[in-house]
Amino acid sequence: MTQQLLKTNYQPYQFKKKAIFGTTSSVENSAGVNIPTFVGQFTLHYATIKNTIDQKYQALGTKYENTLIIAVKHDSRVNDSLECQLDGITHEIVDVSSDDSMYLSYDLITIKKTKKVGVS
Protein backbone atom coordinates (compact mmCIF):
# COMPACT_ATOMS: atom_id res chain seq x y z
CA MET A 1 0.00 0.00 0.00
CA THR A 2 1.41 3.39 -0.94
CA GLN A 3 1.48 6.56 1.07
CA GLN A 4 -1.29 7.94 -1.12
CA LEU A 5 -3.71 5.20 -0.09
CA LEU A 6 -2.78 5.71 3.56
CA LYS A 7 -3.46 9.42 3.28
CA THR A 8 -6.42 10.37 5.47
CA ASN A 9 -6.86 14.05 4.70
CA TYR A 10 -7.74 15.38 1.31
CA GLN A 11 -8.17 18.95 0.13
CA PRO A 12 -11.73 20.13 -0.65
CA TYR A 13 -10.79 20.97 -4.25
CA GLN A 14 -10.04 17.27 -4.87
CA PHE A 15 -13.75 16.44 -4.43
CA LYS A 16 -14.93 18.35 -7.50
CA LYS A 17 -16.76 15.49 -9.25
CA LYS A 18 -19.94 13.67 -8.27
CA ALA A 19 -20.56 9.92 -8.15
CA ILE A 20 -24.10 8.57 -8.26
CA PHE A 21 -24.67 5.40 -6.24
CA GLY A 22 -27.60 3.10 -6.99
CA THR A 23 -28.76 -0.21 -8.39
CA THR A 24 -29.77 -1.66 -11.75
CA SER A 25 -33.46 -2.37 -12.32
CA SER A 26 -35.41 -3.65 -15.30
CA VAL A 27 -37.35 -0.84 -16.92
CA GLU A 28 -39.82 -1.41 -19.75
CA ASN A 29 -39.13 0.68 -22.85
CA SER A 30 -41.71 1.95 -25.38
CA ALA A 31 -41.51 -1.36 -27.30
CA GLY A 32 -42.45 -3.34 -24.18
CA VAL A 33 -38.97 -4.81 -23.71
CA ASN A 34 -37.39 -4.87 -20.25
CA ILE A 35 -34.00 -3.18 -20.32
CA PRO A 36 -31.57 -3.10 -17.37
CA THR A 37 -31.28 0.55 -16.32
CA PHE A 38 -29.20 2.24 -13.63
CA VAL A 39 -31.38 3.85 -10.95
CA GLY A 40 -29.52 6.38 -8.77
CA GLN A 41 -30.25 6.52 -5.04
CA PHE A 42 -27.81 9.15 -3.73
CA THR A 43 -24.88 11.30 -4.87
CA LEU A 44 -21.48 11.92 -3.23
CA HIS A 45 -18.52 14.09 -4.19
CA TYR A 46 -15.36 12.08 -4.80
CA ALA A 47 -11.61 12.37 -5.32
CA THR A 48 -9.75 10.01 -7.65
CA ILE A 49 -6.87 8.03 -6.13
CA LYS A 50 -4.08 7.26 -8.57
CA ASN A 51 -2.50 3.79 -8.59
CA THR A 52 1.24 3.44 -8.94
CA ILE A 53 2.72 1.30 -11.72
CA ASP A 54 3.71 -1.26 -9.08
CA GLN A 55 0.10 -1.48 -7.88
CA LYS A 56 -1.12 -1.96 -11.45
CA TYR A 57 1.32 -4.85 -11.97
CA GLN A 58 0.29 -6.45 -8.67
CA ALA A 59 -3.37 -6.33 -9.76
CA LEU A 60 -2.78 -8.23 -13.03
CA GLY A 61 -4.79 -11.46 -13.10
CA THR A 62 -6.88 -10.51 -10.04
CA LYS A 63 -10.34 -9.01 -9.62
CA TYR A 64 -8.57 -5.66 -9.06
CA GLU A 65 -7.22 -5.53 -12.63
CA ASN A 66 -8.49 -2.46 -14.52
CA THR A 67 -10.04 -0.91 -11.42
CA LEU A 68 -10.20 2.67 -10.19
CA ILE A 69 -10.14 3.86 -6.58
CA ILE A 70 -12.18 6.83 -5.43
CA ALA A 71 -12.34 8.47 -2.01
CA VAL A 72 -15.60 9.79 -0.54
CA LYS A 73 -16.39 11.29 2.85
CA HIS A 74 -17.51 8.38 5.04
CA ASP A 75 -21.09 7.39 4.32
CA SER A 76 -22.61 4.24 5.83
CA ARG A 77 -24.93 3.84 2.82
CA VAL A 78 -22.00 2.87 0.57
CA ASN A 79 -21.59 -0.90 0.22
CA ASP A 80 -20.50 -3.43 -2.40
CA SER A 81 -24.07 -4.36 -3.38
CA LEU A 82 -24.48 -0.97 -5.05
CA GLU A 83 -23.17 0.30 -8.36
CA CYS A 84 -21.53 3.65 -9.00
CA GLN A 85 -21.96 5.94 -11.98
CA LEU A 86 -19.17 8.37 -12.93
CA ASP A 87 -19.66 10.71 -15.89
CA GLY A 88 -22.54 8.55 -17.18
CA ILE A 89 -20.52 5.30 -17.06
CA THR A 90 -21.74 2.61 -14.66
CA HIS A 91 -19.18 0.78 -12.50
CA GLU A 92 -19.57 -2.16 -10.16
CA ILE A 93 -18.20 -1.72 -6.65
CA VAL A 94 -15.44 -4.30 -6.14
CA ASP A 95 -14.44 -3.31 -2.61
CA VAL A 96 -15.24 -0.72 0.06
CA SER A 97 -12.62 0.18 2.62
CA SER A 98 -14.80 2.01 5.12
CA ASP A 99 -13.46 4.21 7.92
CA ASP A 100 -15.64 5.82 10.57
CA SER A 101 -12.94 6.30 13.20
CA MET A 102 -12.99 10.11 13.17
CA TYR A 103 -15.39 12.94 12.47
CA LEU A 104 -13.78 13.54 9.08
CA SER A 105 -13.10 10.03 7.75
CA TYR A 106 -12.99 8.77 4.19
CA ASP A 107 -14.08 5.57 2.48
CA LEU A 108 -11.92 4.19 -0.33
CA ILE A 109 -14.09 2.55 -2.98
CA THR A 110 -12.59 0.28 -5.64
CA ILE A 111 -14.73 0.28 -8.78
CA LYS A 112 -14.63 -1.42 -12.19
CA LYS A 113 -16.52 -0.62 -15.39
CA THR A 114 -19.61 -2.79 -15.77
CA LYS A 115 -19.67 -4.96 -18.88
CA LYS A 116 -22.94 -4.61 -20.73
CA VAL A 117 -24.88 -7.75 -21.62
CA GLY A 118 -24.64 -8.66 -25.30
CA VAL A 119 -21.86 -6.14 -26.01
CA SER A 120 -18.32 -7.29 -26.69
Average pLDDT per run of 10 along the chain, which is 120 residues long? 52 92 89 89 94 82 87 93 94 90 88 69
- Give the residues across from 68 on adjacent strands: 111
Whether pTM exceeds 0.85: no
Q: Residue 93: CB partners within 8 Å, gap ≥ 6?
A: 78, 79, 80, 81, 82, 83, 84, 109, 110, 111
Which pLDDT belongs to residue 118? 46
Contact 64, 110 (CB under 8 A): yes
Fold for domain 3-113? Thrombin, subunit H (2.40.10)
